[in-house]
Chains A and B, each alone.
Chain A
Amino acid sequence: MNNELFPIVWFGLIGFALTLYVILDGFSLGIGILFPFVRDDEQRGIMLTSASPFWDGNQTWLVLSTAGLYGAFPLVYASLLPAMYLPLVLMLMCLFFRGMTFEFRSEADSYKGFDIGFSIATLAVAFIQGMIVGSVIGGLASDDSNFAEDAFGWFSWFGLCTGAALVIGYALLGAAWLIVKTEGRLQRRFYSMVRPLMSLFVVSMLTVVVWTPFVNERIAERWSRFPNLLWLGLVAVLMLGLAVATVRSAARRHEKRIFLLVVAMFVLGLIGLIASLYPIMLPPDITLWKAASSRSSQQFLLVGYAIMIPITLGYTAYSYRVFRGKVRESEE
């Protein structure tokens, strides 16, 4: 291909959108995952209120990732989605249900049913997202474009592990967000969660990293080559450093630093994942050049992106600024 640069740019931009989704909806999902650990209706209300002004915008990054894939890499969009059909449909159903319980809760007379439904749906969404990532790393075991024929091709034990890891990661992100947005007894509750959640997260991440070379030969080969091993070691050390720093910040009550450190861990993890796969977009063998749409499509998309994404980030930041500070009462 002579237009090699565009697909690489687009690969990066979709990674960017997906990373923002994972972080932004990650903390909203984390809130739902932490629901069972907070018993009081009023306090749960505060937890939800901390996310409600950003709720829809956060999920829009998922739509952008999906739509971007559709426009810039139609082959990946049209192979990955059918291959993950049943888990995706289940995830979408749960996303729908989660959104509606969130919305209706404020109108309800009794919160209990909504809270249980909200929490279960959230847990399912988080777990399935992690599982899909695992299945993608493991590779979709069939030849080109016929992914859809095997209804259970998506299942893997590795996927269960990545699913669990993401649930824990989102919970950690949620706790870190809520430390920033709450105060008093509720905030202390989340402070106390940081250490156990971080321990679990580190263990689950290590498991995933050790397991990965066994499910993806290409990654195994790549990681074992000389300079790469060094990089891998560096990322691992950085991750552990961030983990330790997070726990310390929690002990010293550095509210915002905890959140930033957890975000840094997510970003680093996602970069590591993308770098390990590059230039394969869909293992085992769909490269980003093979999957790319035409130059005219990617070029036109880039124009829109270059203009709109800075503006979008601008008013998104404005919205976070407007709603900065502690949530004092639930706006239910």
Chain B
Amino acid sequence: MLGLDTVDLARLQFSTTVMYHIIFLALSIGLSTYLAFLEAMWLKTGNRVYLGIYHYWLPHFAVNYAAGVVSGVIMAFEFGTNWSGFSSKAGGINGVLLTYEVITAFFLEAGFFGIMMFGEGRVSRKVHFFATCIVALGAYISTFWILASNSWMQTPAGYAIENGRFIPENWWHVIFNPSQPFRFVHMSLAALIATAFVVAGIAAWHLYRNNRDTVARKMLSMALWMLTFVVPLQIVAGDVHGLNTLEHQPAKVAAMEAYWKIEPERAGMPMVVFAWPDPEQEKNRYTLEIPRLSSLYLTHSLTGKIQGLEQWPEDERPYVPLVFYAFRLMVYLGFAMLGLVALSLWLRKRKRLYDSRWFLVLTMLATPAGVIAIEAGWVTTEAGRQPWIIYGLLRTVEGVSPFSVSTLVTSLVGLWGIYTLIFAIGAYFFFKLVRRTPEESLPAEEQHDDAQENRAPRHPFSRRSRRDS
């Protein structure tokens, strides 16, 4: 198909299914954290606005979580179906990490998710709050393990090779391999940012239509505060992660920055703002550069040296344009986010946050910014690892299952078909859900009192009470 070989097709299938999956995961991490915080605030202050926001986002979380589970089942099979060469050799490591994810996180999330969603009147408020917290905790534990697995493929450690198979020698080193902590922090923050932008965008849209909506105001304010703290933190985390990549996967960094040649000593590396990297000529076209800037952020010195791609044989280099652009996209989005945060602080100070229509429009436009940045970041790190499936040890070509092109095209078309269908239905319901104004989900005062008088609380956190109210 289109001149793609079986490895390309397998990669295309895996990347599209995993890029789809990660959206649900990121939003599940973020929303579960948000819901736990909202429930804590409501229990502490008794302010119904928190409860209103909780109700507003609960069905979103439910759908996201469920989609994450089922699209995750697909991923759990795909390592074996499409990457049998990889999974037969590395199953003793990656399969074990995946199993740990299942037993320490998936069950925890799934078990308490049921109580969180449907526990109305059946468990006390404390138990309900506990369930919400456990669901959020499960999301982070899950992130921890799957990133241990991915990071081990980026920066393998703690293993031996016997008969071509990877044998774990030191589990501590396998799990906390050199890039794991960095990736875990970077991804967790990214999930919070992506969710905060979605929440802020929806809130901004409602305020654009009616800026007296108190629930939407609270929503926007909370989301922007979140971003105010986390976006700068993420830029620092990203920088540190970049340094870690430079140390362990220098070829990836060279591709991210589109450095072909090894520049002479003491010149300092420019930052390539824009270019068209040409792998055949091994140079950049239409280049716009800022001198010495890359040296500054990669080596924290104005004259630091960074290796160029010419150092690696051609068959050990990633495809530069993809890595370069994906990385640019992520970084530029990151700084655009920082700009938005700065604007929000300025407007907050002037008490114009909720009625500057241009800012609300800007925030609406930024709704998918965090999700796009996550996708771009993953493309950077995964395409940047190529041509290796386990960096420096096993090539992607050796990892793939030996299917024919026609088999792969069949599965690819089938999966794309079903994903498109579900995306369409999902988008329809997403818009249906967000059309409700946040104020609508504010529980009525009397109903709430009723519940307290009867001492048989219709549990305020369940899905049903939202529908009844």
The answer on a CB contact under 8 Å between B73 and A151 is no
Given A79-B84, A151-B403, A322-B119, the answer on whether A72 and B66 have CB atoms closer than 8 Å is: no
By a CB distance below 8 angstroms, the chain B residues around A63 are 72-73, 76, 102, 106
B11 close to chain A: CB less than 8 A: no
> CB within 8 Å of A: which of B74-101?
74, 76-77, 79-82, 84-85, 87-101
The answer on a CB contact under 8 Å between B99 and A304 is yes
The answer on a CB contact under 8 Å between A78 and B80 is yes
> CB within 8 Å of B: which of A175-200?
none
The answer on a CB contact under 8 Å between A100 and B422 is yes
The answer on a CB contact under 8 Å between A81 and B77 is yes
The answer on a CB contact under 8 Å between A145 and B67 is no
Q: Which of B92, B102, B403 contacts A294 (CB under 8 A)?
A: B92
The answer on a CB contact under 8 Å between B414 and A103 is no
B50 close to chain A: CB less than 8 A: no
A214 close to chain B: CB less than 8 A: no
Number of interface residues of A (CB under 8 A): 70
The answer on a CB contact under 8 Å between B59 and A74 is no
Residue of B nearest to A92 (CB): B74
Binds A, one of B167-175, B187-195, B211-219: B167-175
By a CB distance below 8 angstroms, the chain B residues around A316 are 107, 111
B408 CB to nearest A CB, Å: 9
By a CB distance below 8 angstroms, the chain A residues around B63 are 103-104, 107
By a CB distance below 8 angstroms, the chain A residues around B274 are none
The answer on a CB contact under 8 Å between B422 and A97 is yes
A95 close to chain B: CB less than 8 A: yes
Given A90-B414, A322-B123, the answer on whether A71 and B74 have CB atoms closer than 8 Å is: no
Dominant secondary structure at the B interface: helix
A85 close to chain B: CB less than 8 A: yes
Task: Give bound CA distance, A323 to B462, whole Å.
Answer: 14
Q: Which of B82, B108, B111, B407 contacts A86 (CB under 8 A)?
A: B407
Residue of B nearest to A113 (CB): B425
> CB within 8 Å of B: which of A77-132?
77-82, 84-86, 88-90, 92-93, 95-100, 102-104, 106-108
B304 close to chain A: CB less than 8 A: no
By a CB distance below 8 angstroms, the chain A residues around B402 are 82, 146, 148-149
The answer on a CB contact under 8 Å between A60 and B107 is yes
Q: Which of A56, A293, A304, A309 contacts B69 (CB under 8 A)?
A: A56
Binds B, one of A47-55, A231-239, A258-266: A47-55
> CB within 8 Å of B: which of A144-165?
145-146, 148-149, 151
How large, as a class, is the contact surface on chain B?
Answer: 35 or more
B284 CB to nearest A CB, Å: 40
Q: Which of B85, B91, B122 contacts A322 (CB under 8 A)?
A: B122
Task: Give bound CA distance, A79 to B448, whole Å.
Answer: 58
A273 close to chain B: CB less than 8 A: no
By a CB distance below 8 angstroms, the chain A residues around B94 are 70-71
Task: Give bound CA distance, A56 to B70, whole Å.
Answer: 9
> CB within 8 Å of B: which of A277-332?
293-294, 296-297, 300-301, 304-305, 308-309, 312, 315-316, 318-319, 322-323, 331
CB<8 Å pairs between A and B, sample of 7: A63-B72, A63-B106, A71-B97, A82-B81, A100-B66, A106-B463, A294-B167
Q: Which residues of B contact A (CB under 8 A)?
A: 59, 62-63, 65-67, 69-74, 76-77, 79-82, 84-85, 87-104, 106-115, 117-119, 122-123, 162, 165, 167-169, 171, 401-404, 406-407, 410-411, 414-415, 418, 421-422, 425-426, 429, 432-433, 463-464
